[in-house]
């Protein structure tokens, strides 16, 4: 029985070391055709990455250009709005000036009428 335990112990110890030896082995180098295929795939991935970067750069440039155009349009709209506001204010000032002028002409006509009436009255008294 003692011999049996010793043999079993050695077998179990050997079995436990076996996976370590299997996992510890270095992987074999891929064959040339496999290596060529992997290189081809890597090159394809690199090309796709470069294309994506180029597309992204173009999209960013396009967005920047649209932003510049929007800013330019905004400035033009602000300038037009300011011009319209200035024109409106000028028109209001002109309207007030014209109303004052009409009022002055009306008062001048009234005074002329009074003066004419007074002259006629004074002429009739003579």
How many separate domains does the chain show?
1
* Residue 61 is assigned to a structural domain of this protein: yes
Nearest 5°: phi and psi at 44? Answer: -65, -40
pLDDT of amino acid 105: 95
State which residues form the domain around 66.
47-116
* Residue 66 is assigned to a structural domain of this protein: yes
Q: Is the pTM of this model over 0.85?
A: no
pLDDT of amino acid 17: 63
pLDDT of amino acid 65: 96
Distances (CA, A) of 22 to 10, 16, 26: 19, 11, 9
* Residue 76 is assigned to a structural domain of this protein: yes
CB under 8 Å, gap of 24 or more: what pairs does 104-113 form? Answer: none
* Residue 105 is assigned to a structural domain of this protein: yes
* Residue 9 is assigned to a structural domain of this protein: no
* Residue 101 is assigned to a structural domain of this protein: yes
* Residue 26 is assigned to a structural domain of this protein: no
pLDDT digit string (tens) for the chain, length 126 residues: 688 878 878 787 777 666 554 454 566 676 888 888 888 999 999 999 999 999 999 999 999 999 999 999 999 999 999 999 999 999 999 999 999 999 999 999 999 999 898 888 888 876
Where is 55: in which H helix or E strand? helix 32-125
* Residue 121 is assigned to a structural domain of this protein: no
Cα 102–105–110 angle (5° rounding)? 125
pLDDT of amino acid 4: 80
């Amino acid at each position: 029985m003692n011999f049996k335990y010793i043999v079993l112990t050695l077998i179990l110890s050997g079995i436990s070391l076996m996976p370590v030896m299997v996992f510890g082995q270095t992987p074999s180098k891929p064959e040339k055709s496999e290596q060529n295929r992997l290189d081809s795939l890597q090159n394809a991935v690199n090309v796709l990455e470069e294309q994506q970067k180029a597309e992204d750069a173009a999209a960013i440039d396009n967005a920047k250009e649209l932003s510049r155009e929007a800013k330019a349009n905004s400035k033009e709209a602000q300038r037009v709005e300011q011009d319209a506001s200035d024109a409106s204010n000028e028109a209001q000032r002109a309207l007030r000036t014209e109303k004052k002028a009409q009022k002055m002409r009306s008062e001048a006509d009234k005074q002329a009428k009074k003066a004419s009436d007074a002259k006629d009255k004074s002429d009739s008294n003579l």
